[in-house]
Amino acid sequence: MFNRNRGLWRMAVIVSISSLVTGCGILSPDDPEDEGPIVVGTTSAPSTLDPAASWDGSWELFRNIYQTLLSYPSGATAPQPDAAERCSFTDSTNQLYRCELREGLTFSNGNSLDAQAVKYSIDRIKKIDVNGGPAGLLGSLERVQAPSEREVVFHLNKPDATFPFVLATPAMSIVDPGDYPADALREGDGVVGSGPYTLRSYEDGERAELVRNDRYEGFAERHNEAVTIRYFKDSPGMVKALRDGEIQVTYRGLAADDVVTLQGKAGKDEGLQLVEGSGTEISYLVFNPEDPWAGRKEVRQAVAQVIDRAAIAHRIYQDTVDPLYSMVPKGLTGHTTGFFDDYGDPSVPEAREMLEDAGITDPVPLTLWFTTDRYGSETAREFKEIKRQLDASGLFETTLESRPWKTYVAGYLKGEYPVFGRGWSPDFPDAENFIAPFVGEQNALGTPYLTPEITGELLPRSRRESDRANVERDFERAQQIMVNDVRLLPLWQGKQYLAASTEISGAEQALDPSTIMMMWQLHRKTSW
């Protein structure tokens, strides 16, 4: 997300005219009186509480209860110190990165957070090496040193100008060595971190109760004392809770119908506000190379030729998302429209010709998998639309299958699904993060994607370049390779929508560049 400033988050805030006239706009900086926790609703529940296991939406919670060396203060588009006092490359090749910790850091249990704890936390990610987990982010890391109590030195095995962005991801959360095993994931529903909040209680799939961590030392200025996160199965239930006053904010999972309603007169009349901003979250299909049908390039190309993204965006999402034609979304340096350039508009005759040239004349049987409780209420409808499009072509006979997120993840990591849907929110705001996580022997998909030119040439060369505007051509080439392979098929790029009662301020400051919710920015208004 280089060349992208905070102005890109052009927030369109919908509030009542009377509130604007009386000066009680949603930007009020006043600290709230203690009226109990602010309750935030989302449809994106964590899959784990251990950072060593997570390369998914669990980061939403992690950002608020754990601490990283670097993070994103409000308004920042590049990582800034958090647990660290300062960090920088100390060589000319971007291979030696040094951080000095803040003085006197402790975990929420009172144990010291020193350089050894940082080294331990990073080392255990690589040692445990969860399939599909965050170890894939550390491909350039050779070793970590802790030469003194406050000094951490990262030795990289190759130049990597994006390494500070990696350290700023919640995957690199610092954990207490006395409470997290070095070679296994931590069990139970407790957390020992050093973030802005502590996790007072947790019910899997139900709620997480966060309270202010008085031991926290970092950049976050907390505007509330406590936040409770409630996890919902779908948007209608979440919005009903908002209307009933059971929650004050919704984040992730607002259905298009609810967005449209909240944008209109009904939302204003109910005293609700909608914050809208540009987003870099994407949705895409993954083809399993081991499947006898999805593993055939001609079949993947035919699917790419039939899929009508514009119809999905309009019919299912009511234009609250935009069609996407490359894995790198609009707004990032290196974005292209490769799938549109190569395939153009959807065409059944052209798809039929692709299959016939490969000797495939009968309808291709494909099973499409999606998750029931991760990416919003429209997911099932979206996959029914994809099935409708493919079946209507006469070229495919599709079957739909689904699972809840936790078992869904286990299935795709085992390679059980021929074709499956995934969403991706960036680890950090750079085009690399929409390419590197999906390629290589081990990746975020759980299915190897070997691309020697990308992994051996394009990514290494781009990582030597600190000025990310200079890597555009490498990323364009990488995307073209991915278009040619059709191992991944981008579908749409999302926008960000937060709904809140008009008593809540700070929603527009609560998103960091990777669209993770910074709960400490939320507060109640105190003046009307």
What is the Cα–Cα distance from 185 to 163, expressed in whole angstroms?
Answer: 24
Contact 508, 277 (CB under 8 A): yes
Q: Kind and range of the H or E element at 300?
A: helix 297-306
Of the candidates 225, 264, 215, the one whose C-alpha atom is nearest the C-alpha of residue 106 is 215
Give 458-511 pLDDT, tens digit per residue.
998 998 887 888 899 999 999 999 999 999 999 999 988 889 999 999 988 887
The reported pLDDT for the residue numbered 514 is 66
Of the candidates 524, 522, 528, 525, the one whose C-alpha atom is nearest the C-alpha of residue 222 is 522
Is pLDDT larger for residue 376 or for residue 349? 349
The reported pLDDT for the residue numbered 525 is 86
Confidence of residue 30 (pLDDT cuts 50, 70, 90): very low
Q: Is the pLDDT of residue 25 over 80?
A: no
Confidence of residue 191 (pLDDT cuts 50, 70, 90): very high
What is the Cα–Cα distance from 111 to 272, expressed in whole angstroms?
Answer: 43
Is pLDDT larger for residue 31 or for residue 64? 64
Contact 487, 286 (CB under 8 A): yes
Q: Is 295 exposed, middle or buried (0-12, 13-18, 19+ CB in 10 A)?
A: middle
The reported pLDDT for the residue numbered 487 is 97
> Does pTM surpass 0.85?
no
The reported pLDDT for the residue numbered 80 is 92
What percent of the chain lies above the pLDDT cut of 70?
92
The reported pLDDT for the residue numbered 270 is 85
pLDDT mean over 33-55: 88
Q: Which of 83-92, 183-192, 209-218, 459-468 has the lowest mean pLDDT?
A: 459-468
Q: What is the mean pLDDT of the chain?
A: 89
Q: Is the pLDDT of residue 19 over 80?
A: no
Q: Which residues contact 76 (CB under 8 A, 6 or more apart)?
A: 512, 513
The reported pLDDT for the residue numbered 448 is 87
What is the Cα–Cα distance from 297 to 157, expressed in whole angstroms?
Answer: 34
The reported pLDDT for the residue numbered 267 is 67
Give 163-175 pLDDT, tens digit per residue.
999 999 999 999 9
Give 261-293 pLDDT, tens digit per residue.
888 766 677 889 898 877 888 999 999 999 999
Q: Is the pLDDT of residue 12 over 70?
A: no
Rg (CA), the chain: 23
The reported pLDDT for the residue numbered 452 is 95
Give SS3 for 392.
helix
Encoding tokens for residue 241?
């809770």
Is pLDDT larger for residue 33 or for residue 335? 335
Give 321-335 pLDDT, tens digit per residue.
999 999 999 988 889
The reported pLDDT for the residue numbered 425 is 82
Question: What are φ and ψ of residue 508, in 5° steps?
Answer: -70, -20
Q: Is the pLDDT of residue 17 over 60?
A: no
